[in-house]
Amino acid sequence: MTPESMPDGESRGGGARQYPRPTRRGVLLGVSLAGLGGALAGCSTAAVPYDANEAGVAPGGQVQGAMANPAATSSQGGMSTAGGMPSSPAPGGGMPSDKPKKAVKPAGTVLGAAGEVPVGGGKIYTAAKVVVTQPARGRYKAFSAVCTHVGCIMSKVANGTIDCPCHGSEFKITTGAVVTGPAPSPLPEKQIKIVNGMIVLL
């Protein structure tokens, strides 16, 4: 066999055997296989639903298999979370509050403790210009403490009457009616109520 007719794999000089040079087609095939292997190595082998999106999330919102992030999935109040989004309900969502309710403050002006008003007598609240009497135990009455004569403020409650210091007018602790003049008319009645042992002027 002449050197010209020898195949490319054999040396024309009779020396060591040489392998053929790779063709362009072989190089491209090798690169393609290497890239495919790298891509497969980075892919998950977890089962993904047929109709899942690119993130592996099924239409129901559940992340399947290894594509779910266990650190981002938790259970709070029986509700599942995914993707790091909290499942806590929106404000005003109707969930019961654990905070204790504050005591409702009575509407009106608190004059003082009901225990300060003696049975058969009364107490004058000068700042509010009100006199509160207790003609019988547990029965409270309230009147204006301004005398109907010339507008003086009452000074004391004694012997069943509310007394004016200016001209000696006296009024009944039960009705506010005039007992002794010169006051021409009874004391106007005021509305009160007892709330938690306190006298509240309405």
12-29 pLDDT, tens per residue? 545 555 555 666 666 666
Q: What is the reported pLDDT for 181?
A: 83
Predicted confidence (pLDDT) per residue in 98-149, tens digit: 565 665 566 788 999 999 999 999 999 999 999 999 999 999 999 999 999 9
Cα distance between residue 19 and residue 43, in whole Å: 37
Per-residue pLDDT, 57: 67
Tell me what pLDDT residue 152 has: 93
pTM to 2 decimal places? 0.48
Mean pLDDT, rounded, for 45-67: 60
Q: Check residue 65 and give its pLDDT.
A: 47
Q: What's the mean pLDDT in 55-78?
A: 51
Rounded to the nearest integer, the mean pLDDT of the chain is: 73
* Length, in residues, of the chain: 202
Strand pairing report for 170-172 and 161-163: antiparallel
Q: In the chain, what are the domains?
A: 116-201 (2.102.10.10)
Give the lowest-confidence range in 6-10, 76-80, 157-161, 196-200: 76-80
Q: Which 3 state secondary structure label does DSSP give 12? A: coil
Contacts of residue 166, defined as CB under 8 A and 6 or more positions apart, other chains included, come to: 147, 149, 150, 152
For residue 70, how many other CB atoms are within 10 A of its CB?
Answer: 8
